[in-house]
Amino acid sequence: MRIGMVCLIILCLSCGRDRVILLPEIENAKITNVKDVSPAYLFYDESKEDSVELNRKNLIITTNWLVNVDKRLTLKQALPSILKLQDKKRNAKMHKNENAKNYFTCNDTAIKNLGFLDFTDVFYFQGKSETEEKSNEILLYFETENRIITKDSELSPKSLENYLSELLQNNDSINLKVIANFNKNLTFQEYIKYISLLDTIKIDSIWVSNNEFIY
C-alpha cells in the first residue's frame, strides 16, 4: 500500500462528517509496502470522556491489518482498543490466515510516504515488569519524550545505543535482552518514536523482548 505524502487521514463517514487522524511520524521505516490489507482507526475525540473512538467495521480477518492510531492519544487511551484488535485476530476460529500480520501505520518523513511497524507478535502487559534485573536482562523505563530510566542512570534517546553497547561490554552474558516499560501517559507519537528507536539499534548481541509493559 503506497500513497502520496500523508500526514493525516481523512475519512468521510456515512453521517456526513469528515474524521481526521493525525498519524505518528517516524523516519526510515523498515516496512514501506504492505499488500492485501484492511484498516482499523483509533480516533482522537475530544467530545468523549476517554477521547478515543475505535472504528473496525472494514476489518477482514484473513488480511493484514493496518491500525491507524491518532498520535495525540495516550497509551492509556489507545491500549484497550489495540488489545481488542489483537484478541480478535489471535482468537479467530474461522478463515484464519496464519500469515496475516498487524501493522501500525505511520508517516515516514524520510520518504514522504507511509511506513509501517509490525506489532503482530507484541504482547502488552499492564504494570511494570519485574523490578529485579536478571544477569542477561536490561530493564528500560520510557518515562517521558526525552527521559529513559535505567537501574543506575537516566538517558536521552540519543544516548541509548551507546549505553547498551557499553553495558554489553561490561557484562559476562553473551546476549542481553531488553525489556521495555512505557509510561501510560506517553502519547502514541512518543511511543512510536521509542519503538522505532529500539528497532534501529544495531547491536547483534542485544535483542528486544516482544513483551511490552505499560505502567
| pLDDT score for 4 | 44
d(CA 5, CA 25): 12
Determine the pLDDT at residue 3.
Answer: 45
Same domain, yes or no: 55 and 145: no
Amino acid identity for residue 155 in this structure: L
pLDDT at 17: 62
Q: Looking at the structure, do residues 140 and 88 belong to the same domain, yes or no?
A: no
- Cα–Cα dist 116/160, whole Å: 23
CATH number, position 179? 3.30.420.270
Does 146 share its domain with 115? no
Instruction: Please report the sign of the dihedral spanned by the C-alpha atoms of residue 162, residue 168, residue 174, residue 175.
Output: negative
Domains in the chain, number: 2
Please check whether residues 115 and 143 belong to one and the same domain: no
The percentage of residues in the chain with a pLDDT greater than 70, rounded to a whole number, is: 91
Tens of pLDDT along 41-52? Answer: 999 988 777 788
Q: Which domain holds residue 210?
A: 125-214
Residue 6: per-residue pLDDT: 54
pLDDT digits (tens, 9 = 90+) for 171-183: 766 788 999 999 9
User: What are the grid coordinates assigned to 68, written together?
Assistant: 491507524
**Domain stops at, among 93, 120, 147:** 120
Query: Does the global pTM surpass 0.85?
Result: yes
CA-to-CA separations, 76 to 54, 83, 125, 126, in angstroms, rounded: 14, 12, 12, 10
Same domain, 22 and 48: yes
Residue 78, helix vs strand vs coil? helix
Determine the Cα–Cα distance for residues 104 and 179; give it in Å rounded to an integer. 20
- The predicted pLDDT at position 2 comes to 47
Spans of the chain below 50 pLDDT: 2-5, 14-15
Provide the residue count of the chain: 215
